[in-house]
Structure 1
């Protein structure tokens, strides 16, 4: 069920999980033409503890958008602002959970601010931030 702006409440939250695969990475590379070596070579990782290829932050942000579209508010929205801090890399094979919580609602403008936390299968926080969306209220 889609929620209208008047049905949204501060404190509501929703989450989704996804395992990022090598195929996801290849599709990202082809679509964006971003062939940064950090995503291509397993031996260039950000730290020496893990030799798996790193998943681009933009791809992980897609999971955040999916929570907005599929869960909360689950209606047509426009992303107005995003602020993200990437604490740890996401690697191929990681299961990432994106959890969004409404922290502010501007009913006059139909804007909703959501806190974003993404963590991996070990409970390590990989991304933290917030998004501001314009809620159209149109059912998708």
Structure 2
């Protein structure tokens, strides 16, 4: 039985947008058991520049994973490496656009490297970096 083939190319990109809500943060806190006071309405959270609770980094990373799973490559794959730099906090109510672009394909290993860029509704870059994924099939 042969594995399926996928046409991926350098420069190929995909993006998704999401607005993060209090409900999203509540679910994330319950799943991770991370109850950082910056994630909720209180005096500590309201001391930031936007006077809004911060969205957990793990939740924003989930949007990056969603682009990989749903769009690029949008096929069965495994995340091998993730290097992300957080330049600006994400707050409740922010609309974040995650864009991934293929920058390298290792055909022998079936690894795909993608540049990651996340921006908010104001055009501010909040996250950038790269991911390496293993595609379970032949990359052509």
Unaligned runs of 5+ in 1: none
TM-aligned CA deviation for residue 90 of structure 1: 0.2
Cα contact 1:10–1:105 (8 A) shared by 2: yes
Matched residue of 2:10: which SS?
A: coil
- Tell me how far apart the structure 1 counterparts of residues 19 and 65 of structure 2 sit (CA, whole Å): 16
Aligned counterpart, 1:53? 53
Cα 1:59–1:36 shift into 2, 3 Å: same
- Alpha-carbon RMSD: 1.8
- What is the TM-score of this pair, normalised by structure 2? 0.91
TM-aligned CA deviation for residue 50 of structure 1: 1.2
What is the total number of aligned residue pairs between the two structures?
135
Cα 1:111–1:46 shift into 2, 3 Å: farther
Cα 1:90–1:4 shift into 2, 3 Å: farther
Aligned counterpart, 2:107? 107
TM-aligned CA deviation for residue 39 of structure 1: 1.1
Cα 1:111–1:44 shift into 2, 3 Å: same
- Tell me how far apart the structure 2 counterparts of residues 120 and 73 of structure 1 sit (CA, whole Å): 23
Unaligned runs of 5+ in 2: none
Instruction: Select the structure of larger CA radius of gyration.
Output: 2
TM-aligned CA deviation for residue 47 of structure 1: 6.1
TM-aligned CA deviation for residue 46 of structure 1: 8.7
Runs of 4+ off more than 3 Å:
45-48
TM-aligned CA deviation for residue 37 of structure 1: 1.2
